Amino acid sequence: MNNTRDIKVRFGKKSIWGIATFLAASLCATVLFAAGPDEELMNKAKSLFGPLPASMPSPDNPITPEKVKLGNVLFWEPRISVDGTVSCVKCHPLGLYATDGLRKALGNHCKENPRNDPTIFNAAAQISEHWIGNRTSVEDQAKQALVGPPAFGMPSYESAEKILKGMPGYVMMFKQAFPGENNPVTVDNFAKAVGAFERTLMTPSAFDDFMKGNATALTDPQKRGLKTFLSAGCGTCHFSPYLGGQMYQKFGLFEPYEKYTKSQQVDEGRFAVTKTPSDKYVFKVPILRNVAETPPYFHDGSVDRLEAAVIIMAKIQLSKDLTREETGEIVAFLKSLTGVIPEAVLKVPILPPAD
Amino acid sequence: MNNTRDIKVRFGKKSIWGIATFLAASLCATVLFAAGPDEELMNKAKSLFGPLPASMPSPDNPITPEKVKLGNVLFWEPRISVDGTVSCVKCHPLGLYATDGLRKALGNHCKENPRNDPTIFNAAAQISEHWIGNRTSVEDQAKQALVGPPAFGMPSYESAEKILKGMPGYVMMFKQAFPGENNPVTVDNFAKAVGAFERTLMTPSAFDDFMKGNATALTDPQKRGLKTFLSAGCGTCHFSPYLGGQMYQKFGLFEPYEKYTKSQQVDEGRFAVTKTPSDKYVFKVPILRNVAETPPYFHDGSVDRLEAAVIIMAKIQLSKDLTREETGEIVAFLKSLTGVIPEAVLKVPILPPAD
């Protein structure tokens, strides 16, 4: 199956370039001819990906400006952690595309988290949160992080609520974000506010322009990379406008992943959640938006370079040995997923005074 | 001396209100009369403080937009710390007025720093940096922090330079900030860039409007607080437009500070730098700009509330027992020093990719 695809791609490429060379009497002719394959590639890609939507669906947590504003402030708030050092932004610094650059995130008292920090940009669109899908939504993730022992580490939800209630600035903002509620300062509303904020964190990129029909939005190497990405089968798991986040998959379908990564220990993945033997070594397929900006890679951050991650993925998920050229082109394509972070998100909010 | 001051203030207040009551036949008359004491207070305050200058002097490190831009990016950069978690902004989060809210700052591997984190807003105007003045300037502070064991903890300056040199984005920015230099990516230039950025961090407030002649910029309680601040003698040490940062002083002139603070241990202060016995318990007088937003207080962060800090300072530095009313008014005045953080400073810069 994979071999067939491989041959088709190689043949396809040679064929195109053969004919192109033959016909390229003028630049104009080449451009006209190129429109064909571009359109085919675009249509294939559209059927699997498509552009980011204008806004993220949020059926259970209606987005309001007040909720987003509160969520944005709370995102930067460390005073609701047990040692006063952990806020959402600690593990998701925006300047590094909302990842921390570490193999595994460090929470309160520098406690190591079990897995690598995924970006929160575009993350709310996934089927679940965390590598093993043990959080149902960004709201669930935000709430549970408050009492997560290696995260904020608060002894109870009540203790977090008490701190928030002690700051008049927050009391006012919670009232505005949750009008009509008698007791708006709750961790559930904390979760809704942070979740609403996170649902605004979309990063459209050159790839979206391409998905909307602008054939020149990707460079030629990027288009070749996209073609290889598709023909190699990467899109089998990395689909949707987010290129991932929609399914679970075993890491190491053809060979154990630890054979190629520098993993210090073997993580049984989603088995920890479901206790189903078939879920051993199964992880949520990560989204690939901004992947070039979010090293290190994999659930344990065991691989530093994107090139290596691409080669390993092809090898152990698709049993395919990518050439150096193919790897470079896929990496070039992945860089087209590096998006624009909304200006408003990059503004540091002033936190309410302690009293 | 202090008693005399105390009596004068009390008499002064009673006198003003006595006359005011007597004359207050109309609001107009009161307002006209109030102009007198306001002007006197303003003049006294001007002679000791004055408004923030338009820009901070920087004789040894000329400010250029390129240097400030690079310094701003470097300010957020954690990848030049030994564990990848420490950047300038870690201990100086802007949303908390560039302090971290902790008793003592936590650096790499959560190592505790010897003292509380001062804000970096307006900090470059001080005679020296750090509580004990063991850093000559913000540039010196930035440079030494790179290898400071409880700070960035890098094994050497060269190791920090090597990381920066490995990121093409930084190489380009250093070239632009230090044009004509053969080897611009150095820790000395790191220090100059961060220092240049820090020299732009001024936060004008209502107090500056008052210092510029707008008598209504302060509320009446704030004016009374300023008057008490002056008459009690706080301005003896907390002078200049920064209300501090211009001299060293013993903490606990009249009584040992640990008698009133919750200090876990006694810090000998500047004695550690000079080894001069008279420098025992001597610290740099901290600037009071934004003091209401930067708890906890003192060199060891041993006091949480500003009211308590004010009472303790009056007691052990001036041998004065402030009344509850006087304390409240001084706190009200100190809140007039809470300034506006420049918009540009609040924007999170995107950090250069790893390669």
Tokens 């093409």 label which residue? B168
Contacts of A354 in chain B (CB under 8 A): 101, 295, 304
Rounded-to-integer distance, Cα A16 and Cα B61, Å: 58
Contacts of B353 in chain A (CB under 8 A): 292-293
Task: Please report, in tens digits, the pLDDT of each residue of chain B (355 residues total).
Answer: 333 333 333 333 434 444 444 444 344 434 444 457 899 999 999 999 999 999 998 989 999 999 999 999 999 999 999 999 999 999 999 999 999 999 999 999 999 999 999 999 999 999 999 999 999 999 999 999 999 999 999 999 999 999 999 999 999 999 999 999 999 999 999 999 999 999 999 999 999 999 999 999 999 999 999 999 999 999 999 999 999 999 999 999 999 999 999 898 999 999 999 999 999 999 999 999 999 999 999 999 999 999 999 999 999 999 999 999 999 999 999 999 999 999 999 999 999 999 8
pLDDT (tens digit per residue) in B13-53: 434 444 444 444 344 434 444 457 899 999 999 999 999 99
Q: A307 to chain B nearest CA, in Å?
A: 12
- pLDDT, residue A11, reads 33
Helix locations, A55-108, DSSP H: 65-75, 88-91
Using DSSP bridges, classify how beta strands B282-284 and A282-284 pair: parallel, antiparallel or unpaired: unpaired
Q: How would you class B271 by CB atoms within 10 Å of its CB: exposed for 0-12, middle for 13-18, buried for 19 or more? A: middle
Cβ of B346 within 8 Å of Cβ of A341? The answer is: no
- pLDDT, residue A18, reads 41
Q: Are A120 and A94 in contact (CB under 8 A)?
A: no
Q: How many Cα atoms are found within 13 Å in the side-chain-facing hemisphere of A351?
A: 26
Using DSSP's 3-state secondary structure scheme, residue A305 falls into coil
pLDDT (tens digit per residue) in B74-86: 999 999 999 999 9
Contacts of B355 in chain A (CB under 8 A): 305
A62 preceded by a cis bond (ω within 30 of 0): no
Cβ of B354 within 8 Å of Cβ of A78? The answer is: no
Contacts of B94 in chain A (CB under 8 A): 348, 350
Cβ of B353 within 8 Å of Cβ of A293? The answer is: yes
Rounded-to-integer distance, Cα A312 and Cα A297, Å: 11
Residues of chain A whose beta carbon is less than 8 angstroms from a beta carbon of chain B are: 73, 76, 78-79, 83-85, 93-97, 100-102, 106, 109-110, 292-293, 295, 304-305, 341, 346-351, 353-355
If you count residue pairs, one on A and one on B, with CB atoms under 8 Å apart, how many are there? Answer: 77
Cβ of B349 within 8 Å of Cβ of A95? The answer is: yes
Task: Please report, in tens digits, the pLDDT of each residue of chain A (355 residues total).
Answer: 333 333 333 333 434 444 444 444 344 434 444 457 899 999 999 999 999 999 998 989 999 999 999 999 999 999 999 999 999 999 999 999 999 999 999 999 999 999 999 999 999 999 999 999 999 999 999 999 999 999 999 999 999 999 999 999 999 999 999 999 999 999 999 999 999 999 999 999 999 999 999 999 999 999 999 999 999 999 999 999 999 999 999 999 999 999 999 898 999 999 999 999 999 999 999 999 999 999 999 999 999 999 999 999 999 999 999 999 999 999 999 999 999 999 999 999 999 999 8
Contacts of A106 in chain B (CB under 8 A): 83, 85
- pLDDT, residue B14, reads 39
Q: Kindly state the helix (H) or strand (E) to which residue A249 belongs, with its residue range.
A: strand A248-250
Nearest to B95 among A93, A293, A349 (CB): A349
Q: Are A249 and A354 in contact (CB under 8 A)?
A: no
Rounded-to-integer distance, Cα A254 and Cα B228, Å: 77
- pLDDT, residue A36, reads 76
- pLDDT, residue B17, reads 42
- pLDDT, residue A35, reads 53
Nearest of B296, B267, B294, B295 to residue B283 by alpha carbon: B267
Contacts of B84 in chain A (CB under 8 A): 100-102
- pLDDT, residue A6, reads 35
pLDDT (tens digit per residue) in B130-145: 999 999 999 999 999 9
Tell me which chain B residue has its CA closest to the CA of residue A112.
B109
- pLDDT, residue B262, reads 84
Nearest to B85 among A83, A94, A106 (CB): A106
ipTM of the complex: 0.87
Nearest to A348 among B94, B100, B351 (CB): B94
- pLDDT, residue B341, reads 97
Cβ of A295 within 8 Å of Cβ of B354? The answer is: yes
Rounded-to-integer distance, Cα B197 and Cα A4, Å: 57
**Three-state DSSP string of chain B:** CHHHHHHHHHHHHHHHHHHHHHHCCCHHHHHHHHHHHHHHHHHHHHHHCCCCCCCCCCCCCCCCHHHHHHHHHHHCCCCCCCCCCCCHHHHCCHHHCCCCCCCCCECHHHCECCCCCCCCCCHHHCCCECCCCCECCHHHHHHHHHHCCCCCCCCCHHHHHHHHHCCHHHHHHHHHHCCCCCCCCCHHHHHHHHHHHHCCCCCCEHHHHHHCCCHHHCCHHHHHHHHHHHHHCHHHCCCCCCCCCCCEEECCCCCCHHHCCCCCCCCCECHHHHCCHHHCCEEECCCCCCHHHCCCECCCCCECCHHHHHHHHHHHHHCCCCCHHHHHHHHHHHHCCCECCCHHHHECCCCCCCC
The model carries a pTM of 0.88
Residues of chain B whose beta carbon is less than 8 angstroms from a beta carbon of chain A are: 73, 76, 78-79, 83-85, 93-97, 100-102, 106, 109-110, 292-293, 295, 304-305, 341, 346-351, 353-355
Q: A111 to chain B nearest CA, in Å?
A: 9
The neighbouring-strand residues paired with B269 are B282
Contacts of A351 in chain B (CB under 8 A): 95-96
* Sign, CA torsion B260/B261/B263/B266: negative
Contacts of A332 in chain B (CB under 8 A): none
